[in-house]
Homo-oligomer: A and B are copies of this chain.
């Protein structure tokens, strides 16, 4: 579950937002002023920060600045009242990612939150490569020589397990437990069958595997 830190001195608004967040599956964290908000931002490491622009002690602007000064990349949305004068450009320059003008609909705020979370999370696309194969873990796509390769669920799961445990011998039982789980008890030969198919699909020469090696009497070993 993702944590959203709400920093606002208006307790009514704070609670409204918190309620909405909870209802939508987020974990809200609340702070009534900039100072404590900043402290929570640094210790709690929330997934997103909502911060009011006008606050006593430490303004939203200051909070943004300091969060960024701490090398945190947490996405931040600034809330500003309709009368507030504020410079969008400056706001974004110091590190805010978006701003919403009060009064706003909760629906809009939520949309912004979701959009921002998606934007900042999708930036970390993990792509692992070995031989002539590329594996995109976020998109669950496997490419061989740039060509889209179709893997079944079991094949894909087995592949990711190998990727996570490179260069070490893995017994069939270990593989079964990790990939198939403790609930199902297939024959250990099942593993072999799937390894064969992975080799056929991913190896340049399936008859002389260079990545999915067998360790005779033990199991298999993956070599990137």
Contact = CB atoms under 8 A, between A and B. Distances in A.
Interface string A1-43: 0000000000011001000000011000000000000000000
A103 interface: yes
Oligomer: number of copies: 2
A4 to B, nearest CB: 16
Interface stretch (A47-55, A91-99, A186-194, A198-206): A91-99
Contacts of A154: 217
Interface residues of A, number: 49
B119 A92 contact: no
A13 B168 CA distance: 35
Contacts of A91: 103
A16 B93 contact: yes
A217 B92 contact: no
7 pairs of A and B residues whose beta carbons are closest in the complex: A153-B217, A92-B103, A140-B169, A95-B105, A139-B168, A12-B89, A25-B182
7 contacts: A13-B89, A16-B89, A25-B181, A73-B107, A97-B104, A101-B119, A139-B168
